[in-house]
Amino acid sequence: MVHALEEVRRVLTPAGTLLDLRPLADSWPVEILEDGNPLETGRLTDLPTGLDDDQAANLAVEEAARRGWFKREGEQTFPLYVYWDNPEEMTDYINERWADFVEMGVGVQQTTRITWADAGDSRRVRMKLKMLLTSWQKQ
């Protein structure tokens, strides 16, 4: 990953800015929205691969900064909501695309399905990801 940052530094304009935008493992909550009111039905379980990836990315940008390639200009976290039409679509999505990083336990699946079934017609299911945005100025 440090090699990728070295290549970014090489092609970035002299006053360029590198944006590090990525989700962070954070036991993302699963929610049912009913009339815009969120009800948490559980949290995903972070798997070692996702935690290791976060750590590797953090170490790589820290190494790039230590080498004097970039200077941190600012950093913030913010929520990113991902919506599905129903709990089954959400479970399928997680199993197909994120199975290496997170797991939705059986209890969370059951609670989400039950809460979904009890909610009104204006219901939606969503997950709240924790996103990291860091700006790095080329040195």
Q: Which tops the pLDDT comparison, 26 or 36? A: 26
Mean pLDDT value across the chain = 94
Section 34-49 average pLDDT? 93
Identify the pLDDT of residue 130: 96
Identify the pLDDT of residue 58: 93
Cβ neighbour number for residue 119 with a 10 Å cutoff:
17
Instruction: Tell me the CB-side half-sphere exposure of residue 22, using CA atoms within 13 A.
Output: 14
Write down the pTM of the prediction.
Answer: 0.86
Supply 109's token pair: 């699946």
In angstroms, rounded to a whole number, what is the distance separating the alpha carbons of residues 119 and 114?
9
Give the residue numbers spanning the domain of 54: 2-138
Q: What is the pLDDT of residues 82-104, one digit of tens each?
A: 999 999 999 999 999 999 999 99
For 19-30, letters b (16+ CB in 10 Å) and e give ebeebbbbebbb
Section 105-111 average pLDDT? 96
Q: What is the pLDDT of residues 29-40, one digit of tens each?
A: 999 999 889 999
Identify the pLDDT of residue 3: 92
If pLDDT is split at 50, 70 and 90, which confidence band does 120 have?
A: confident
Q: What's the one-letter identity of residue 91? A: T
Confirm if 71 and 121 have CB atoms less than 8 A apart. Answer: no
Q: What is the pLDDT of residues 1-10, one digit of tens each?
A: 899 999 999 9
In angstroms, rounded to a whole number, what is the distance separating the alpha carbons of residues 112 and 40?
9
Domain count, the chain: 1
In angstroms, rounded to a whole number, what is the distance separating the alpha carbons of residues 120 and 124?
10
Identify the pLDDT of residue 35: 86
